[in-house]
Structure 1
Amino acid sequence: MTTALGQPQSTLHIATACFINSANALLVVRKRGTTMWMLPGGKLDAGETAEQALVREVGEELQVSLSPNDISFLGSFQAAAANEPDTRVSANVFRARLPDGQRFSLAAEIEATDWLSLDMPVPATVAPLLREHIIPVLQTAALK
């Protein structure tokens, strides 16, 4: 893909976590200085698998220690980046379970968290990746 000026569009490779509570609501985060809600997670470091990046990022952002048994692969999706112009995200998305005895605690660049009901219309302040791909997959899975 290219930008309006004909420049190649950059792609961020990320891993994200879907934490869903008993009320069928999805944990979303907002990074400091931004307005868009997205899933916790972040960019893969060089040589890092998506699973390793997810465990690291959730630890950094929410102070939660995930293990491989706490996550399962949901899918890979691409969309426009929420906060970086002329950029796309290529995401490996996982369902995640909060380990017993742990709580979410804001850290790193995370300014706020909220629970987004999967039973309600999606607000305009939700990142494109989440709005266009992940929420529809989660809603379809819930109907099965």
Structure 2
Amino acid sequence: MNVMQIAVARAINATGQVLLVRKKGTVAFMQPGGKIERGEEAMTALIRELDEELGLCVAASDLTFLGQASAAAANEPGVIVEAAIYGLLVSTPVIVGAELEEAVWIDPADPGALVLAPLTRDCVLPLAVSEQ
């Protein structure tokens, strides 16, 4: 089993909705973030990814480390993602860019009929619900 190190944001807005994104050519929604490059710190990777994917200019002081979690990768069979999860309050509009197709704000307790990545479904949304 291959393991991929990633950093993701449990991004919420002022009303407690959680931001999910979907990459081009995929069906599963997940947290914004991405792979940690060799020699890169998790927080640095997340700040880079948030800028590339959503046009969010985030400082390290804007992020709160929430923990680590592992799950099956949504788009890569046979891969496990090990995620560093950071909390982020978003108060500015997001702009879908880079390899993203779509971004949505959802109620973490009721994501509706969206297809969710395992990490999102099993780890991140329950964390957001427990904080409401």
Same fold (TM over 0.5): yes
Q: CA deviation at 1:122?
A: 5.8
Q: CA deviation at 1:87?
A: 0.6
**Alpha carbons 1:77, 1:90 under 8 Å: kept:** yes
Please say if 1:107 is aligned against 2:97: yes
Q: CA deviation at 1:23?
A: 2.6
Matches of 2:98 and 2:44, distance apart in 1: 18
3-state DSSP of counterpart to 2:8? strand
**Alpha carbons 1:24, 1:119 under 8 Å: kept:** no
3-state DSSP of counterpart to 1:107? coil
Residue 71 (structure 1) aligns with: 63
Residue 41 (structure 1) aligns with: 33
**Structure with larger Rg:** 1
Post-superposition CA distance 1:34-90 (Å, at most 9, x none): 000000000001111110000001011011111011110011000000000011100
**Alpha carbons 1:122, 1:131 under 8 Å: kept:** no
Q: CA deviation at 1:139?
A: 1.1
1:97 to 89, 95, 101: 89
Give the count of matched residue pairs.
132
* Greater relative CO (CA pairs within 8 A, separation 6+): 2
Question: Percent identity of the aligned residues?
Answer: 37
**Alpha carbons 2:13, 2:89 under 8 Å: kept:** no
2:115 to 107, 125, 138: 125
Q: CA deviation at 1:97?
A: 2.4
* Alignment RMSD: 1.4
Unaligned runs of 5+ residues in structure 1 are: 1-8
With normalisation by structure 2, the TM-score equals: 0.93
Please say if 1:139 is aligned against 2:129: yes
Unaligned runs of 5+ residues in structure 2 are: none
Greater Cα shift, 121-130 or 80-89: 121-130
**Alpha carbons 1:19, 1:26 under 8 Å: kept:** yes
Matches of 2:111 and 2:25, distance apart in 1: 25
Post-superposition CA distance 1:79-107 (Å, at most 9, x none): 00000001110000001123x6x421111
